[in-house]
Amino acid sequence: MSDNMQPAKSKKPKKPYHIKKADLHLDEYIEEQNSKNPSLLFRRGVDHLKSSLQFKLYLVLQLVAALTGFGQVFFIFGVFWAMIANTGKRKKGEMSAYSLFNEDVQS
């Protein structure tokens, strides 16, 4: 075999050059995503719950607990679990609730 035989290179897909950045309205989209619009926040929350494996598991376990007569007890534990699971840690440089009222960080 000769050295001139090289495997065929695959062609990269062409970018859609007919779409211009100005046509995408990115500034409006970013502004909408950063807004505190209640309907947008509600829609995001519902979408998150639909895709959450933990929430689906909780619903199944809640159904089983309700059928066995422990629905209210499991609901209370579920509320505590949700509070603990959604308690995050502060990022570096982020202010805590305490530091809001104690600006000079004095004891």
The parts of the chain modelled with pLDDT lower than 70 are 1-10, 14-17, 20-23, 100, 103-107
User: 74 with 65: CB under 8 angstroms?
Assistant: yes
Report how many domains make up the chain. 1
104 occurs within a structural domain: no
* pLDDT at position 26: 75
Domain that holds residue 65: 22-87
The answer to whether residues 62 and 71 touch, using CB atoms and an 8 Å cutoff, is yes
Say what the pTM is: 0.50
Closest of 51, 82, 45, 50 to residue 74, by C-alpha:
82
Domain-located, residue 92:
no
Residue 49's pLDDT is 87
Predicted local distance difference test score (pLDDT) of residue 1: 53
